[in-house]
């Protein structure tokens, strides 16, 4: 692959893939029921051994 074809790939398909990954992470973070898990994980540093 030369530079132009790699740039074309990065400008089109790789950008689309990263955007879809970002949307997936946002949906995962704001899914119903995730607040309970996030609250539990936020208390881990304060738990006693």
Reported pTM? 0.65
34, 28 Cβ separation under 8 angstroms: yes
Domain hosting residue 32, numbered range: 3-46
**Torsion angle of the four alpha carbons 25, 31, 34, 35, in this order, in degrees rounded to the nearest 10:** 110
- Position 49 scores a pLDDT of 63
Number of domains comprising the chain? 1
- Chain segment 11-33, per-residue pLDDT in tens: 889 889 999 999 999 999 899 98
Q: pLDDT band at 1, cuts 50/70/90? A: confident
pLDDT > 90 in the chain, percent = 43
**Res. 6: pLDDT tops 90:** no
Please compute Rg for the chain using Cα positions: 19
């Amino acid at each position: 692959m030369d530079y132009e074809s790699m740039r074309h790939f990065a400008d089109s398909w790789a950008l689309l893939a990263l955007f879809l990954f970002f949307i997936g992470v946002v949906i995962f973070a704001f899914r119903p029921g995730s607040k309970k898990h996030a609250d539990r994980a936020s208390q881990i540093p304060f738990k006693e051994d």
